[in-house]
Structure formats: structure tokens, C-alpha cells
Amino acid sequence: MESWAEELGSCRLCAWECGADRLRNGGVCRIKLPEVAYTSVSKATKSVTVTFLGCCFRCIYCNAYRLSQYPDVGWYYRGAVPPEDLARELLDCLGSSKSKEVGADAVNFTGGEPVINLPYMEKVVSIMRRRFDGLRVGIATNGFASDKSFERMIDLCSWMNFEMKAYDDEIHRAITGAPVDPVLRNAEHLISKARSKIRVIRTVVIPEINVSEVEKIAEFLAHLDTTVPYRLVGFRPNFLLYYHPGPTESIMRRLAEKAKAKGLQNVSWSGYYPHGISPLIRDIANGMSQYRTHSARIAHAYSALAGCVSAQRNCGKCPQSNSCPSMLMEPWDMQDKLRKVERE
């Protein structure tokens, strides 16, 4: 058995500290040995990202539930990858043209929840740093780590994305199935002991479920450090909340202002659930006289805004089909394009 895996024999990595023998059986997370869903290049974090399977939460809204609730969902991915093989793959990816295009110089771990794979991550990073001087490391976490694990995560990472689902314990348990105290404790520790490593603390805004929690979280954060970056992310209907409405743009703007009113200086927001088509899309569509139907004009307006140069879409005949300019590396890029048009 490899040394990094020994800790999984009586796992106490997350705040459940369930002591499961993950060499044989999954714990609360249902994961035995670490399993990789996929790797990708991230423009947002300028990194090569490793997305793990499994999570110690069971969030009712998870937009990655096919990953986080593995293996219960019946989807299957890459699975266990020896750390030496993954490190080699990530180093090769960092040298790729796509990584160079976005300026990637880091590895970022997300999921699912990375903390349940902490010894494995430490091993991968140690191998990579032998060949990549100055490698930066990012971790996206739900904050539900044991005290010792969280210290190790801080030591390992160059930056951390930390998500807070709620402040009230009852609401947090109803959303995630887990108590909030470990998350609050780790958030306070991160802010007080490793402020420079915070990339963002974020909350996914879910109407009628955790909207009331935003001001409480903002007040909690402001009491610790008014400069902490706090980002509100609009919920997109998914998983158990597939038929639950997302927040409107006005809700997101209002909550951002309320968070600022609690004393936070660095509040931002992204994502909302439109209850109609953007006027900007309608304007673009109205200029598309080449289409006979309104439906086709609306459909092509989105492609045109993203970068499509064709008068009418016919991808098999397009000279740019091998390098389509109508591409988003990340879906929220469309909001940025809409805002850019608004500014212009």
C-alpha cells in the first residue's frame, strides 16, 4: 500500500471524521480510493483543473450532482488514477497550446469535494513541483474539513475558493445534510490565519431557501475582515431543485447591496435566472434579415453574440469549423458578453 493511502484506512479527513476504512468501504462520502472525473483547462483560475468524484455533502441543488453524488447516480467516469500518472498528465496539459492561451500556470482541485482526497492531492503536487518550479495550487472547497485537514489544505494551496451555503444551522442542514459549525470555524480560521490565500468566499443564492442567509454571512465575514472578497452566484435549477426557480437579476443586485451594507467592501455577483429574453438578444435577432422565422433569428443571435461569423449556420461547410469562434470555455462567459454589449 502506498504511503499516501494509509490515512484512508481510518479516514478523518472531513468534519464527519467517520473513521471509515476507505481501502475497503466508502465512508459518508461513499468514496473509497480517490477517483477522478476529468481534467480540464480553466480560464477563470488560469489552471489545469482536476475534478474529483464524491462529496461529504448531499446538497439538494448541486449543479455537479452526477459527480458529487457518485456512485449513487449511476454515471461512471475515469476512476482511480495513480498519482504519478495524473501528475504527468497535468504537466503535459500545462504545456499545451490551450493552457498557454489562457496563461495557465497552476493546478486546481475541485469536485465533488477535494478534502476527501487530501493525501492524494499532496502526493500529486509533490511530484509536479519536482518538474514545475513555482507551481501554484488552487482548491475549491465546501469548508467541511476536520481541523487538521484544513490546516494541511491551507499549507498546500496558493489560493482557496470557499463556499458558504448558509449561516443558520437548520437551513444549512436542510440544504447540505451537514451541520454548519465546521464551515464557520474553518472560514474564521482561513480569514484570520491565511487571508492572503482567499481567492473568493461565495454563496449560491437560492430563492426562498437561503436568500435570508446572505446578510447573515456578510455580517459574519465583515466582523472578521471587511476586505474579504464575497461573491454571490445565482442558482441554476438542478438536481432535486430542477423545478425550483432561480433568482432574478434584481434579486442578485439587491442582495449584493445588502451585503455591502453589512460592511463588506468587496462584493460581486454573477448569474441570474432571466424570466424573458434579453433585449440585447432581440436587437441582434431583429437585424438578421437572412432568416425567415423569428425562432431562427433568436437562436442564431446567441451564436452571433458568442462569435459566429456565418450569415446562416451551416457548420459542415464553414471554413472555420475546425476552430469555431462561437465558443465559450465557461458558460457564464455569455453574461460577460451581454454586459460588454450593454457598456458599448
pLDDT above 80: residue 43? yes
Cis ω before 71 (30° cut-off from 0): yes
pLDDT score, position 242:
94
Res 251: pLDDT: 96
For residue range 317-334, list pLDDT tens digits in order. 888 878 888 888 777 788
Continuous segment of H or E residues that includes residue 269: strand 267-270
CA–CA dist 66, 73 (Å, integer)? 6
Contacts of 51 (CB under 8 A, 6+ apart): 36, 37, 38, 39, 40, 64, 67, 110, 111, 112
CATH architecture type of domain 3-270: Alpha-Beta Barrel (3.20)
* Cβ–Cβ < 8 Å for 301, 285: yes
Domain-wise residue ranges, the chain: 3-270, 279-343
pLDDT at position 101 over 80? yes
Q: Say what the pLDDT of residue 342 is.
A: 47
Q: What is the percent of the chain with per-residue pLDDT over 70, rounded to a whole number?
A: 98
Average pLDDT of the residues in 130-141: 96
Per-residue pLDDT averaged across 249-278, rounded?
A: 94
Average pLDDT over residues 205-211: 97
Contact yes or no for 191/224 (Cβ under 8 A): yes
Average pLDDT over residues 300-316: 89
Indicate if the pLDDT at residue 343 is higher than 50: no
Q: How far apart are CA 216 and CA 167, in angstroms?
A: 6
Name the least confident of 133-147, 169-183, 325-339.
Answer: 325-339
- Which one, of 270, 214, 262, lies nearest residue 44 by Cα? 270
pLDDT score at 11: 97
